[in-house]
Amino acid sequence: MEFTTDVFSVFDKKWALLTAGNKDKFNTMTVSWGGLGTIWGKSVATVYVRTSRYTHEFMDDNEYFTVSFYPDEYRNVLSVMGSKSGRDIDKMNKSGLTAKELPQSMTFDEAEVTFVCRKLFKQELKTENMLPEIASRFYSGDAAHDMYIGEIVEIIK
């Protein structure tokens, strides 16, 4: 597996789609918080999902998830996927993206790269363990984030 990127900007500036489920039932949302790294001797992707997101249910119910990155021309699509909930609209039909079934999960044909991730770990980011300035800035009245660490089992380019 080979992949080279600027880890400090790939999530923050480029954004990604986080997708979980299977072809009969899946959901996707935009993420800009995340990481790529190493733990337990494995290459991993880490994402942070507020418990209020519809995608959160899919993250909990499925062993695999995907993190996929897109060319700049899909910026508007990622904006929609990051502002509307799959609970309220049919995101797939509104997106203009083409769903692509993988053996373990789902992604989209338009992705320039997809990380297929096997969920290894989940934990709530508890406000009591954060600096107060972070807790008050990001969690005053907003749902907690759960952190998911996924082993990158495949990189599809």
Q: Which CB, 54 or 139, lies closer to ligand FMN?
A: 54
Among 30, 43, 104, 127, binds ligand FMN (CB under 6 A): 30
86 binds ligand FMN per the rule CB under 6 A: yes
Angular region, 83: left φ>0, alpha ψ -120 to 50, beta rest:
alpha
Out of 22, 35, 42, 82, the only residue in the binding site for ligand FMN (CB under 6 A) is 82
Angstrom distance (rounded) from CA 32 to CA 58: 18
Q: Is 27 in the site for ligand FMN (CB under 6 A)?
A: yes
Interface residue with ligand FMN, options 19, 20, 21, 29 (CB under 6 A) = 29
Please identify which residue in the block is written with the tokens 């789902």: 106
139 scored as a contact of ligand FMN (CB under 6 A): no
In the complex, which residues of this chain contact ligand FMN (CB under 6 A)? 15, 27, 29-33, 48-50, 53-55, 79, 82-87
